[in-house]
Chains A and B, each alone.
Chain A
Amino acid sequence: MNTLLRIENLHARVDGKAILKGIDLTVKPGEVHAIMGPNGSGKSTLSNVLAGRSGYEVTEGTVTYRGQNLLDQPPEQRAREGVFLAFQYPVEIPGVSNIYLLKAAYNAIRRHRGLNEVDALDFLKLVKEKTRMVDLDEQFLYRGVNEGFSGGEKKRNEILQMAILEPTLCILDETDSGLDIDALKVVANGVNALRSPERAFILVTHYQRLLDYIKPDHVHVLAHGRIVRSGDASLAHELERKGYGWIEAAAAGA
């Protein structure tokens, strides 16, 4: 099988402070990787570096996505190539309706792929179907992007965007945090519905409960800017019972 994403020895700084200190990770199409780890260990930093947010300085290492150097592409190019980040804290854009943003994004990606822009009616049909899937009322389509949405509604909205844009590499940064049990199922269903042999997921999470619904192929523990342990789904159960202390201690001793 091909490799979709290969991260090698990735080091990154923020404001001159080293946060990522040598990450290695290989993701193949069809796989689900869970990344867990204590607060402040660098999970969002890794997600942001992959998505191309400014303010992060990569000091060493490489990231290859579909055979291309990912790091020299501007963020919109990465997005059009199929990299999607569901944000830990989705921003509000007052005045810009949700459906307008969705259509602009959808067409930007289609143009990039040499496809025709979709017309308003076809798009509306697609959006309505996906909106039902994430259990959001249609009125959310016409509200400002995330404007006044509750925490859970914002997260569902991220999943709605993912479902419409159909990316190839989906990075979900704590999309499960702060969700009630129904919303958690919506997020999990959204991910499971999109699972396919071509598509891969990186799920950043603190909780085993998400992994009860989405079974990961690999689980990694990130601590102090490094992946200190990798395993299969059972590692997540172990973490749930024991916390991170024992791994961090083992890593420090190693």
Chain B
Amino acid sequence: MSATAETLDRLIKQDYKPGFVTELETDTLPPGLNEDVIRAISKKKNEPEFMLEWRLSAYRHWLTMMEPHWAFVEYAPVDYQAISYYSAPKTTDHPKSLDEVDPKLLETYNKLGIPLYEQEKLAGVAVDAVFDSVSVATTFKDKLAQAGVIFCSMSEAIEKHPDLVRQYLGSVVPAGDNFFAALNSAVFSDGSFVYIPKGVRCPMELSTYFRINAAKTGQFERTLIVADEGSYVSYLEGCTAPMRDENQLHAAVVELVALEGAQIKYSTVQNWYPGDEEGRGGIYNFVTKRGDCRGARSKISWTQVETGSAITWKYPSCILRGDDSVGEFYSVAVTNHRQQADTGTKMIHIGKNTKSTIISKGISAGRAQNSYRGLVKILKSAENARNYTQCDSLLIGDRCGAHTFPYIEVKQPSAQVEHEATTSKISEDQLFFCQQRGLSAEDAVSMIVNGFCKQVFKELPMEFAVEAQALLGISLEGSVG
């Protein structure tokens, strides 16, 4: 093996740091799924009747559906009866403040670099921490309440704001939308809810941190963000899980609603456990994320940095319904070892003068497979719609793969659609050049990867950009100039 190949090898063999398990007493339902399980979940959460009905109808619909297999990923069949659909740390029934949260949980978040206490005191970021199935702490509630912003767990929202939930839940991703969304609708246990009132610019970044801890459980959270007319919110989502030999299922649904003139910026740094070098264990990340630009001049931006999960199946999408609305998708997807990612976006142009931008950066190393799958659909009504898509793939080593599946459907002749795609490889020549200028091969790879991702990183809020770069094992580029 040449020197550079060895360095690359070392680089892609970095340990998964958040891979520890927290020992906690939990309240866990036995594995299996049937109507009684769904009733039990709904009862544990003291839900109103309409929610139980909603869940049951989603479940009945799910029973008629087939698991989709069109993505460019391969995995052993999931046994849906072997999964537990509810697991909660016992001591956190209804924490009123951080003082009532189990210290072990706070310790877990500290280890992950999300000290909830400090977040509450210092950083201007409000955090909702979701541990296995339940939300354990939401910080900064008072300050947000002053601005009229609602930021709480989904359970609390169902309890305290049932009308808002009823009005918007499932209005972007209907209960029967797809196999995993239907499953989520039936069994989701918690998640975050955000409502920004008319004309309010949310005074801080909102952040949810998802942690899967318990074994043999699935995590099915549900996030709903509603930005009322003329409002603005930036929302961050982070995820980690312990290292385990078996695969764990994560099937979340995220719905965004932007009314007239509203803007939602949704950023994700996803670092679920990716499995080991041989592909044992790791999270199956089958997620439905969709934003609805319901009002004129509204805007939704998705920015994601996907480094984890054994399998990623995820297409954050925008429905550009309002005239002059804007959808954006910025993505870095990194796969190594045996990881498989099939990710991309859908931009559905319905309103006039709607605009969408897609920037996708896929990086493959080891024996990983990385696919971009994107749909740009321009309906007859979308006069003067415009889309720009750029899809770049970077290969590290020669046993990995990159694939691009762009689908374009245009029904409106005045539309302009542009698509650019490139595939490149970190070459020995590039590495030697950098080394000849005094950089180690590791720093050279980091620098090249970082340069490749720059367009996306600059869309992330500052503190997240730092985390994202740390995740890729790289240091900040562009500090000069």
Binding site for B on A (CB under 8 A): 51-55, 74-76, 78-80, 84-85, 87, 90-91, 93-97, 99-101, 103-105, 108-109, 112, 120, 123-124, 141-142, 144, 161, 165
Contacts and interface: CB of A to CB of B under 8 A. Distances in A.
B3 A76 contact: no
B409 interface: no
A123 B436 CA distance: 20
Nearest to B478: A100
A101 B434 contact: yes
20 contacts: A54-B3, A55-B428, A76-B436, A76-B440, A87-B436, A93-B433, A94-B424, A95-B451, A95-B454, A96-B447, A96-B450, A96-B451, A101-B434, A103-B479, A105-B434, A105-B438, A108-B437, A109-B438, A120-B479, A165-B438
Contact of A95 (B429, B441, B448): B448
A76 B481 contact: no
B452 interface: yes
How many B residues touch the partner, as a band? 20 to 34
A83 to B, nearest CB: 8
A99 B480 contact: yes
Contact of A74 (B3, B427, B430, B437): B3
B435 interface: yes
The SS class assigned to the B binding surface is helix
Interface of B: 2-4, 424, 427-430, 432-441, 443, 447-448, 450-452, 454, 477-481
Contacts of A142: 481
B481 A51 contact: no
| Central interface residue in A52, A54, A109, by most chain B CB within 10 Å | A54
The SS class assigned to the A binding surface is helix
Contacts of B4: 54
Contact of A93 (B3, B430, B454): B430
Contacts of A79: 435-438
Contacts of B438: 76, 79-80, 105, 108-109, 112, 165
A97 B481 contact: yes
A120 B448 contact: no
Given A87-B433, A90-B433, A96-B448, A105 B439 contact: yes
B433 A108 contact: no
Contacts of A123: 480
Contacts of A54: 2-4, 428, 432
Contacts of B2: 54-55
B325 to A, nearest CB: 30
Contacts of A144: 451
A93 B435 CA distance: 13
Contact of B437 (A101, A112, A124, A141): A101
A53 B481 contact: no
Nearest to B427: A91
Contacts of A76: 435-436, 438-441
A239 B424 CA distance: 43
Given A76-B436, A95-B448, A95-B451, 17 more contacts: A54-B2, A54-B3, A74-B435, A76-B435, A76-B440, A78-B436, A79-B435, A84-B436, A90-B433, A91-B430, A93-B448, A97-B451, A99-B480, A99-B481, A100-B477, A105-B439, A124-B481
